[in-house]
Structure 1
Amino acid sequence: MSNVGHFMYFAFGSNLLKERLQLKNPSAVFHCLGRLKDYCLTFGFTEEQFDNRWHGGVATIEESEGTDVWGVIWKMSKDNLDSLDNYGLLWLMRSCAPLWRQEAVDVGMYSPLEVMVETDRGAILCRTYRMNKFRASPPSPQYKEVVCLGAQQNGLPPDYIKRLEAMQTNNYAGPSILDEIKKAMK
């Protein structure tokens, strides 16, 4: 999964979008596209209700024979592993700057796993995340937009992008993390 100081991360949800991932994980560098065989992409929450900054279901993967999940393999510094794994808003003591953590491993929302991802360079062992105690819930339009933007930005297969664009949402119309991402994209 890693070489000295780095690891490979397979992203399939909001972290497909470079600007989203690099908000808190600046070391992430595009490596290649990949396909995770025998898994499907789905959206929801954990059984416990966590603060949901996306105002809807978020992406996870589930084993599903015969289906695939497309995504991006990012090469990342091991220094960013903590900010990728953990959850919440922390205040850095020196700078008083907020630090959002993403995958909520520390509070049990996601579990990291190692998966073999098929690429045009051969199979690559990657770190990815699967939601614990999953219950289905549609994503917000803003979350869907970020996932679709990331898929388009990185050139995922057109048929897969069409599947993402066809996802039903919960029609949430208020503010979300997308506002912060759009600022970073300018």
Structure 2
Amino acid sequence: MTADAPKAPADLDAAALRRLLESGAGPRLIDVRTPGEFETAHIPGSHNVPLDLLREHRDELRAHLDEQVVLICHSGRRADQARQALAGAGLPGPRVLSGGITAWRAAGAPVATGRPRWELERQVRLVAGSLVLASVVASTAYEPAKWIAGVVGAGLTFAALSGTCAMGMALARLPYNRGPRTDIATVLGALVKEHR
């Protein structure tokens, strides 16, 4: 890093973000979880821009965002991916809420709630665990069924190493997880309206 290169802002913990929001000069909050996750619980005043939508329309979004942006997800991983996507579009300064909405709720900070749903990560654990259990039980009658458990284990290992989860992406597309439709025109309209 050269002396002329700007430093990336540090991530914010829940207490620091709460102080900023209570000061009245808080940053713009962009929640990159699925619409279903967002509908279940989100920080009041945040905007839902699902990670896939953000990646696809990052240049359009860049025109409506400045460095005073905090990215939010369940735990911080997807928000970091969103930060990288926005950095690729020329926005160097977004921060990430450390620990995501999980840390925000644990700190007792205000949350707007809607229809309750299981978090996507919990759904992945349920499906992966069920597949492993079923394949082990089935392998007592049909020995090659044990390989299903191996494939699931390999997928989970790859997900941990790569920071992506094919099972999670597939589950996010289920009607249960979709929530209200979120499109780029709606997102940009909300961002413009808030900026006025």
For normalisation by structure 1, the TM-score amounts to 0.29
More strand by share: 1
| Greater RCO, 1 or 2 (C-alpha within 8 Å, sep 6+) | 1
Q: Which is higher, the Rg of structure 1 or of structure 2?
A: 2
- Determine which structure has the larger helix proportion and give its number: 2
